[in-house]
């Protein structure tokens, strides 16, 4: 796997730092990966190794307020706030397609990255060939929690788990939780932008009708993930909205006992294989 970085200038003047991971041979498709809140794209290098080994070209930004793009000021959303977070998906997608006009582009979003993807798709579904939403859920449940006054308080997500670090809700793998806690670019807290409430549009039937009906969507979650609701109820509601809007290829897979970061769970090899299989079916051409 060849690793490079590029920088994109956002519409409101932020330097967005992007990893570009390339396979050794000619790629069969490109994959755009967006991380979640209070983390960064470097945590997805293991996923990129699996995707490049399967023949995919991967782009993953440190999103605004996060990682190297934050320049040490974690949680600074910039002048455009949440709208900027969503606009950055289109900015990167345009760069990927300009650099690789022969390739289809798949979109993967985890957690807050998946919620950004839900809103992005309302107007940009023609720009991607398939979508994977990981650690996702129902925006109707999430937005009131995250738009309360003060910094985003995620501690409630740990209420039903043992309290060793406060982040046990992320994974059953203690080593992965400890890596997250030790990472200064992860786990920060900050007020979220006021315009995050616009994410509620992603639950409106009229808005969802703008998504093209032939777009394949895979939703992956642990059934103990508090973001997805009790036994994945929020994930299922989100999938049902897509189906009701006419989308014909919407799949939900819930992993028993798994928590929020299924890509860092004890069954992560299974999850990664499911992602690769879905990409091979929807955008890739498996080697014969």
Give domain limits for the chain: 2-282
The CATH superfamily holding the domain 2-282 is Alpha/Beta hydrolase fold, catalytic domain (3.40.50.1820)
Measured between alpha carbons, how far is 223 from 242 in angstroms, rounded to an integer? 20
Measured between alpha carbons, how far is 163 from 149 in angstroms, rounded to an integer? 25
Residue pLDDT tens, the chain, 288 long: 999 999 999 999 999 999 999 999 999 999 999 999 999 999 999 999 999 999 999 999 999 999 999 999 999 999 999 999 999 999 999 999 999 999 999 999 999 999 999 999 999 999 999 999 999 999 999 998 888 777 776 778 999 999 999 999 999 999 999 999 999 999 998 889 989 999 999 999 999 999 999 999 999 999 999 999 999 999 999 999 999 999 999 999 999 999 999 999 999 999 999 999 999 999 986 443
Task: Dig out the tokens for 10 from the structure.
Answer: 């956002």
Q: Looking at the DSSP assignment, which residues form a beta bridge with residue 219?
A: 133, 252
Question: Nearest to residue 217, comparing CAs of 189, 252, 167, 256?
Answer: 252
CA distances from residue 47 to 79, 129, 156, 158 in whole angstroms, order as listed: 31, 19, 28, 25
| Model pTM score | 0.97
- Beta-carbon contacts of 215 under 8 Å, excluding residues fewer than 6 positions away, are 121, 125, 128, 130, 131, 247, 249
| DSSP letter assigned to residue 58 | E
- Beta-carbon contacts of 26 under 8 Å, excluding residues fewer than 6 positions away, are none
């Amino acid at each position: 796997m060849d690793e490079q970085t590029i920088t994109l200038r956002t519409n409101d003047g932020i330097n967005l730092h992007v990893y570009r991971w390339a396979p050794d041979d000619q790629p069969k498709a490109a994959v755009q990966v967006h991380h979640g809140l209070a983390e960064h794209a470097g945590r997805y290098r293991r996923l990129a190794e699996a995707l490049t080994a399967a023949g995919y070209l991967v782009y993953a930004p440190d999103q605004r307020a996060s990682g190297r793009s934050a320049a040490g000021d974690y949680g600074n959303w910039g002048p455009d706030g949440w709208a900027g977070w969503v606009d950055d998906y289109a900015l990167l997608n345009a760069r990927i397609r300009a650099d690789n006009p022969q390739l289809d582009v798949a979109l993967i979003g985890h957690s807050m990255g998946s919620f950004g993807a839900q809103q992005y798709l309302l107007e940009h579904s023609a720009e991607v060939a398939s979508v994977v939403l990981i650690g996702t859920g129902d925006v109707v449940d999430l937005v009131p929690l995250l738009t309360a006054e003060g910094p985003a308080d995620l501690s409630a997500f740990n209420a039903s788990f043992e309290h060793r670090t406060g982040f046990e809700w992320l994974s059953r793998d203690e080593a992965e939780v400890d890596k997250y806690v030790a990472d200064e670019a992860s786990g920060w807290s900050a007020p979220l932008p006021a315009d995050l409430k616009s994410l509620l549009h992603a639950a409106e039937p009229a808005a969802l009708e703008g998504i093209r009906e032939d777009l394949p969507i895979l939703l992956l979650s642990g059934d103990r993930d508090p973001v997805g609701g009790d036994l994945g109820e929020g994930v299922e509601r989100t999938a049902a909205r897509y189906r009701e809007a006419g989308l014909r290829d919407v799949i939900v897979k819930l992993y028993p006992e798994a928590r929020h970061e299924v890509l860092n769970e004890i069954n992560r090899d299974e999850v990664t294989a499911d992602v690769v299989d879905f990409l091979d079916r929807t955008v890739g051409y498996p080697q014969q």
